[in-house]
Structure 1
Amino acid sequence: MSPDLALGTYRCRDIPQAAVAAVACGASWIDTAPNYHHGRAQAELQPVLAGNRDLRVSTKVGFFTPDIAAAASDAGVVTPAEAASGHCLTHRYVAWQSHHNRAELGRVPDIVFVHNPEQAGRPHDAITSAFTALEAEARAGRIGGYGVATWTGFDGAFSVADLLKIATHCGGRGHHLSAIQLPVSLVMLKPVAQALEGTGPLAEATAAGLDTFISAPLHGGELPTMVTDELAQLIDPGTTPAEAALRVTAYTPGVNHVLLGSGNAQHWEAAQRVLALPPLPDKTLHEVIDVLGA
């Protein structure tokens, strides 16, 4: 089954425009965070979400802007040191930020991701604290579920098995851990190699029934200029460098949603065409890894 296209708002310059383009191309998800677009991303999405009730949305807790730090300090939910760090996953802060996320989005978020817990000095303790708060939010119906969005966390700080163990500790067998988010691209090939061997976060998440969201499939827009014509033809003859790069990410085993961070309608249409193509053979993915390394 082909993965879905979703809007990732991290680098969007015009979030409302990007959301309209995404919806027009059939995107079913928008992913955001309270610190994106100088802290304005969630509020800018509210009109689009209000006008598209079937559109699902994920947001995050963890990083915050100076304005959020000041408000959280005034509310007494972060210490001066936590406010200065720009990242916090304590129970009191996560519960407070969850309330503000919901208010800014104008609706209950479908998923709240714990954002880069590898930033914490003790990641497992930080995840436990955040999951405890988010489990309470989910049981009260204030969020749909929760997950972990990470850049490097699955490289040794924690595993999907660790997340499931912590979620079970916090919420029992009926816990609300529902998804993971991680980068997969021609620059970040390790998850591809692992998935082909039936190991790593994508395979473990699939086995556990967790949803998977892929960030930075084009590495912040840099990949199209990095992929040679020779590599593009190895991946899929006749495709452009951008299409070839997206093909590898989209058809890695275990990928459910691919986050595209563009406001350009033509980019969305091109990505939609790529995801409608037949899956790449595992043999091709192995060849790409042999050429580039994992």
Structure 2
Amino acid sequence: MHGGHASLVLGLHRTRLAPDLLRAALAYGVTTVDTAPHYHGGTAHQQLADTAGDLLHRFAVCTKIGYHTTASGSNVHSLAPQRLRTAASTAARSLRQPPAVLWLHNPERSLTGSPVQAAVERLLEAAAVLTKAVERGWCRSWGIATWNPDEVLPVVAAIRGDWPRPGLVMARSGLLAPAPVLTAAERLAAQCRARLWGMSPFGGDTQDPVWREVDPRKFLIEDSTRWQAALRLALAVPSGVERVAVGASTSSHLAELLAAPALAVHSQRISSYRMLLERRSAAETSTAARSAGARSGSLSGSTSSGARL
């Protein structure tokens, strides 16, 4: 899974696939791609196989399970073991090779709101399915890809004893990721004893007005472009990120990003930024708690059927 640019993964969520882009990626040493069967209207696997052609076997393909397409064409999230088993076996066939990583995609969608023990049991069942998928040769490894690791962390922390842990965790990284997400990503990876990958280094949209106000280059010691700096910071925030999945629809854009991992960061400025984010998050949480307390001040005698996430 490690090419000449092992820190970069070509993310295909919004990438417009073309043969020349995949050839350029291989030439640059970017040999891992990240996708999901429900991307691009449910055609992502077929698009990748058709576009890559004979080059497909030269890529380590990471894909996801957890979202399932219904008869009406909509996607629903489920951790039902049989659905996950079917999705895991189908992924290997549709990609014409076992995925390098099979991600359990946004498990929080099926865990949040459940009693803690029920959520634990649901996650353990899913982990068992993915562990068995590795044993059956349907994938080479498995991990958890989560948009909100702060909602998955309490479930993992509640697991007692040994369990079939994921080898990887992937979460949002970079300057625009909220403080709770950054902290939870670090803790989730530690709880799982897993390696940490990042995603969405540009906050989902390079055209977001925030990028006209925030200059990521101020966190680097050396000169770079704005997007090189943003990507480099996604490898530094949260701490411990090994690789980042990033979209690039042209070979020239991908070429620009190649220099990012080698750029030197200003560690003190990054630490200060993290502290500011955490203080702001704490203040927002405190304000929300006071508001909730004021709204419920006239209520009394409420009961709960059990602890919930």
Q: Report the TM-score when normalising by structure 1.
A: 0.77
Q: Which residue of 2 aligns with 1:145?
A: 141
> Which residue of the partner structure matches residue 186 of structure 1?
175
Work out which structure has the larger RCO, using CA pairs closer than 8 Å and 6 or more positions apart in sequence: 1
| Aligned counterparts, 1:1-294, within 5 A | 4-14=7-17, 16=19, 18-47=21-50, 48=52, 50-65=54-69, 69-70=70-71, 86-121=76-111, 122=114, 123-152=119-148, 154-158=149-153, 161-162=156-157, 165=159, 168-169=162-163, 171=164, 177-190=166-179, 194=183, 200-202=184-186, 205=189, 209-222=193-206, 225-228=209-212, 231-236=215-220, 238-252=223-237, 253-278=239-264, 280-289=265-274
The percent of aligned pairs where both chains have the same amino acid is 23
For 1:167 and 1:213, the matched residues in 2 are separated by: 25
SS of the equivalent of 2:174 reads coil
* Alpha carbons of structure 1 residues 160 and 53: separation in structure 2 relative to 1, 3 Å: farther
Return the alpha-carbon distance in structure 1 between the equivalents of residues 273 and 38 of structure 2.
Answer: 35
Cα distance in 2, alignment partners of residues 34 and 167 from structure 1: 33
Q: Report the residue type matching 2:235 in the other structure.
A: A
* Closer, same or farther: CA 187–112 of 1 in aligned 2, 3 Å: same
Whole-angstrom CA distance in 2 between matches of 1:229 and 1:247: 18
Task: Give secondary structure in 1 for the equivalent of 2:30.
Answer: coil
Aligned partner letter, 1:28:
T
1:232-277 deviation digits (Å, cap 9, x = unpaired): 4522364333222222112232111111111211211111111122
Unaligned 5+ runs, structure 2: 282-309
Q: Deviations over 1:43-89 (max 9, x none)?
A: 22225375253421111111133xxx239xxxxxxxxxxx9761221
Higher alpha-carbon deviation: 5-14 or 219-228: 219-228
Residue 162 (structure 1) shift: 3.7
The structure-2 alpha-carbon separation of the partners of 1:291 and 1:191, relative to structure 1 and needing over 3 Å to count, comes to closer
Letter in 2 for 1:92: Q
SS in 2 for 1:46: helix
CA distance in 2, matches of 1:287, 1:53: 44
Question: Once superposed, what is the RMSD of the aligned Cα atoms?
Answer: 3.2
Q: Cα offset for 1:3?
A: 6.2
Q: Distance in 1 between matches of 2:21 and 2:161?
A: 34
User: 1:183 touches 1:217 (CA, 8 Å); kept in 2?
Assistant: yes
2:285 corresponding residue in structure 1: none
Kindly state the Cα deviation for residue 129 of structure 1 after the two structures are TM-superposed: 2.4
Is the 8 Å Cα contact of residues 99 and 140 (structure 2) preserved in structure 1?
Answer: yes
- The answer to whether the Cα contact below 8 Å between 2:120 and 2:155 also exists between their aligned partners in 1 is no
Relative to its length, the structure with more helix (as a share) is 1
Could you say if the C-alpha distance between residues 134 and 99 of structure 1 is closer, same or farther in structure 2, counting changes exceeding 3 Å? same
After TM superposition, the score normalised by the length of structure 2 is 0.74
Structure 1 distance, partners of 2:45, 2:160, is 28
Aligned residue number for residue 287 of structure 2: none
Q: Distance in 2 between matches of 1:89 and 1:112?
A: 14
Structure 1: 5+ residue stretches without partners: 72-82, 195-199
Aligned pairs, how many? Answer: 266
Maintained 8 Å contact 1:113/1:149: yes
Cα contact 1:223–1:242 (8 A) shared by 2: no
Alpha-carbon distance in 2 for matches of 1:234, 1:290: 17
Which amino acid counterpart does residue 178 of structure 1 have in structure 2?
G
Contact 1:229 1:241 in 2 (8 A): no
